Structure 1
Amino acid sequence: MGIKPFTLHIDDAVLDDLHDRLGRTRALPDSPRRPRSGMSAAYRDELVDAWRTWDWRARERELNAVPQFLADVDGTTIHFAHLRSADPDAPALLVMHGWPHTFALQLELAARLPDMHVVVPSFPGFGFSPPYPDRPISEHALARTMHLLMTETLGYERYLTYGEDVSANVNDLLASQHPDHVAGVIATHAHFPSQAERSALTEPDEVAFFARLAADHETEGAYGHAQATRPDTLAVALNDSPAGLLAWLVEKIVEWSDADTDDPRSVERLIGRDRLLTEGMVYWVTQSIGTSFRPYYEGADRPAAIEPVTVPALVAVQRHEHDYPESLARAFYRDLRGFSRLDRGGHFAVAEVPEEMAERVRGFAVELGLLAG
């Protein structure tokens, strides 16, 4: 296949089926004394009604204005957006997504970097990229595929890289394993030591950070446990009910973004409703919610450690890890050019504050001599 253009088009029959299912949603009220979360019955109903009457064709045209492609890479098919600069010598930037989002949520950043060649792929098993046919969706496999996409498929000898959530370790692996090709790494989810390395930490702020994460996981980590231990059972429900799928996705976007979980609608000040519904639509029409769980149970064999990164690094810590110790970043990123903490923007930093992140990326590229100041 090589590389061929990709045009997003959802058949009318698929849309009619979706609208029918949304219209027949069997909604439940909020449970009394329910735990705090990023979703409420009122907001869920509002989103379901909005999805049912949404002008998808208008949104489809907007997405198709972004050049998209399918390519044979590393024994699989990768879907990606490729926003080329008018300058053929502009630096290349790889922008990766995590879970529960898709390539579409990262496009706001890409649109703000016209002086770079920006590549926004869909990971295997997410959206329009099918899962690997012959191997687990592990961090090592993803790093290999992303590197081959950038170098062998697209011909970029050197590139900058950005990742978050599932792609955070992929980001670090690319920079660690390919220093001759990665010109610099940008992280809002800075490197976490392995479990063995964490047990040896003694600095009070480092110990306190991971203790806080562990405490949060007790009340907020059930989603990951379910996706890692009962993925197919959960996927049956989410793949069959668009209302359930949207509630599952948006709850996490609210909780992990810089929104107020007491007011789930506040997420739309950061990530607008069209963008939230787009995430639901991509998962729905591709039926990829089940395969998107695969990194949670197939990635369990993660390496004991990642070798420190020696290429230039820029760390801007997102607010949900506001207490991430600078010492950890300096120990791992051996050429740390900047360390800061975002004033706004949570887990989905490049989607929530794309203007600020674009400025940071551009400034980093200028410092590295990849762009004129």
Structure 2
Amino acid sequence: MKTQVAIIGAGPSGLLLGQLLHRKGIDNVIIEQRSEEYVLGRIRAGVLEQGMVDLLREAGVDERMDREGQVHEGFHLSFDNRLARVDLKQYSGGKTVMVYGQTEVTKDLMDARKAAGAQSVYEAEDVALHGIDTDTPTVTFVKNGEKVTLECDYIAGCDGYHGISRKTAPKDVLKTHERIYPFGWLGVLSDTPPVDEELIYANHERGFALCSMRSSTRSRYYIQVELDEKVEDWSDERFWEELKRRLPEDVAARLVTGPSIEKSIAPLRSFVAEPMKFGRMFLVGDAAHIVPPTGAKGLNLAASDVYTLYHAMIAAYHDGKPELLDKYSDIALRRIWKAERFSWWMTSMMHKFDENTFNQKMQLAELDYFTGSEAGLTVIAENYVGLPYEKVE
């Protein structure tokens, strides 16, 4: 097999990159170790930055998103038994976010790829990358018991934190930076109407809580829990009662509860691998970085990586400027570290870390200051809607 760009991983970043490249006439093959059903079954983020929305439109997969997605012009920070609204549109120069689930984004991109006739290989076994420091890299894998070799010009590693791409990077060049948080998020998905038309991030003495949604009839709620907690110890009734305790009284009073359709606990970490380019292999999305979900940046950071690599690929194939690919890592990392900072800051400000009352008072003072200042609201809003994408030039 031969192609121009081999994409490892059929998550949203790999599919989005593949769709964008295909529309520009750049041939690509996606190699995925899991089944199509498994990829679609992942329950993930649902808040899309303005930049990602624009990129999905450029990829031609915006029809269902525009029909079913919800444009949000603000969100709430809850603390001291009250709500403070952050008006995104007012304080970010007119930008908004779109609430549209990652599962839906993935499905739209899968459908578009099938319609375009672009090649994807699912359930590929023993995937390995070779010659990434040469001009002729290859990807080998086993499909239906037969070993296949895929020759390519470049490899895009879009296979997530646990994927093979980052593991292929030379250990003497790769550097990693990590912060593990001492708690996790217990998340519940339910077919109940959201408690509010906008998201609510809650700081409470019992721990953090988040009220989110997937649609007008499907809600996603989270509460901060200890890392040693087990899902089976949390009945629906116990979850709803604890969530209510962490919300302002008037919000808790209008919470509609119901049976959960999915329940899980996710640990929180901040992680960055650098550089993100190794010869002719590029790390994209979770393969290179993880953020705690407090700032809604994980999926959106993957999209900004895709934007940068996509434009660098266009420069290489259409404009005869392959040297611009050398700028990918530096450009991507500048935006990544700023998003890491925002996610770390939101996590630090909204979660309970210990019983130290001074620290808790500092959190409340910071929330009160930032939500009571135009400058503070601007800082929050412009980061939440997403910092601008940097041009590749």
Instruction: Give the TM-score category using the shorter length.
Output: under 0.3
Higher helix share: 1
- TM-score normalised by L of structure 2: 0.26
Greater fraction of residues in strand: 2
Q: Structure 1 length normalisation: TM-score?
A: 0.27
